[in-house]
Structure 1
């Protein structure tokens, strides 16, 4: 039997209208849709595509929000094994992931494992969340010779502030207070803006980061413009 194919499908940041035509086609054609499951009851990626995958077989893939590499590695191995079992049956599987599968995506670890086992796997790009955030703020990410630095805010971002570039701090929710304090000490707070839950229910837009409270959604992205660049609002 010919083996099936795995697709890692970026479904965009939250607004279903930002799903690409290619992603839509693959989701409609897939035999099985794999869904990341963080165990908290929230399956954001599935909500975005629910109309496209209604009636399809779903494979829920536990991806706990922990930093223990051994725990994560075991989860990725288990998911890869479950996906390969479906591919051995000749089935096409679409694994949905928020934003783009190449930008801080849990899926990419599974993708590598499946590909290393000799199965065909393809990445389908999606609209990155930081692009949607910049559009929502009505500003550019970078112009002319400006550079752009993408930073995971959940890890210590302090050294990134020494880089001369416009900066995007992703997943800033829990660490928002610390990030605001850091930017304030470096004289950058007035150049920072934020969107939480961009394109999702409960979206919040702050053209001035200083107006945002200390607590925020996991899906919070902070944009900081370098001095001399355009303002963030």
Structure 2
């Protein structure tokens, strides 16, 4: 009987190909097939990061639509999981690439759960998170001593309840909500010292040491770091 294959969910980091781990590079080179998240339009950022490591590899594009419709999302994840399981049944090793780390707001984790539930082997390979890369780019710590760190998806819901907590903050995916976020931080006296990096470690990177001075729109891959009011 043919052994079943293994699915690897590989975090490819924030953008710089040199920030891939050596384990990630090895598994990408050993994999039979590279699974690529496909949102339907625009550049395949994760694929662009790893392209030099996977020359000649077979690619499988998995539809992961940009929507908040839970039913549409689940249908997409289910379809992707079924495609992957069919390959694993054939004994193929598949590497599914995802930006940052697979355990932090990634598309992959939903597919991972479905594949494991179907009885197939899947492993998560950690990657450098965008907010760690942003902190390094700014030369700042995320948290020191007994400081707490709160990670918030700024584009998903109101942030008032978070800002009432004594903590340092990471606001991810902040692009569409930049204006509203600035207003909220100002209202809570947290704007001073806030900083942002857009497209960290990519060719289109933009750094804003003083977030308060940002006047232009920013993209989806914008991360804002905020020092908590009671810990400054």
Query: What TM-score results when the alignment is normalised by the length of structure 2?
Result: 0.97
Please tell me whether residue 73 in structure 1 is matched to residue 64 in structure 2: no
What is the DSSP-based 3-state SS (H/G/I as helix, E as strand, rest coil) of the residue aligned with 2:192? helix
> Contact between 1:33 and 1:56, CA under 8 Å: does it hold in 2?
yes
Aligned to 2:155: 154
**Quick check: 212-221 or 160-169, which moved more?**
212-221
Aligned to 2:229: 227
Aligned to 1:208: 210
What is the DSSP-based 3-state SS (H/G/I as helix, E as strand, rest coil) of the residue aligned with 2:155? coil
Aligned to 2:120: 119
> Contact between 1:191 and 1:226, CA under 8 Å: does it hold in 2?
no
Structure 2: distance between partners of 1:210 and 1:227: 16
RMSD between aligned residues: 0.9
Structure 2: distance between partners of 1:120 and 1:53: 22
Aligned to 1:198: 200
Deviating 4+ runs (over 3 angstroms): none
Query: Deviations 1:23-68 (Å, cap 9, x if unpaired)?
Result: 0000000000000111122100000000001110000111111000
Structure 1: distance between partners of 2:88 and 2:12: 22
Equivalent residues, number: 230
> Contact between 2:167 and 2:231, CA under 8 Å: does it hold in 1?
no
Aligned pairs for 1:172-183 within 5 A: 172-183=174-185
> Contact between 2:36 and 2:59, CA under 8 Å: does it hold in 1?
yes
Structure 1: distance between partners of 2:230 and 2:183: 22
Instruction: Name structure 1 gaps, 5 residues minimum.
Output: none
> Contact between 2:6 and 2:122, CA under 8 Å: does it hold in 1?
yes
Aligned to 1:36: 37
Structure 2: distance between partners of 1:189 and 1:168: 13
Structure 2: distance between partners of 1:40 and 1:208: 32
Aligned pairs for 1:130-141 within 5 A: 130-141=131-142
Please tell me whether residue 51 in structure 1 is matched to residue 41 in structure 2: no
What is the DSSP-based 3-state SS (H/G/I as helix, E as strand, rest coil) of the residue aligned with 2:52? coil
Structure 1: distance between partners of 2:161 and 2:52: 43
What is the DSSP-based 3-state SS (H/G/I as helix, E as strand, rest coil) of the residue aligned with 2:204? coil
What is the DSSP-based 3-state SS (H/G/I as helix, E as strand, rest coil) of the residue aligned with 1:175? helix
Structure 2: distance between partners of 1:81 and 1:210: 46
Task: State the Cα distance separating 1:9 from its structure 2 match.
Answer: 0.1
**Distance change >3 Å, CA 186–CA 228, structure 1 → 2:** closer
Structure 1: distance between partners of 2:130 and 2:231: 21
Task: State the Cα distance separating 1:213 from its structure 2 match.
Answer: 2.4
Aligned pairs for 1:8-27 within 5 A: 8-27=9-28
Please tell me whether residue 98 in structure 1 is matched to residue 99 in structure 2: yes
Task: State the Cα distance separating 1:191 from its structure 2 match.
Answer: 2.5
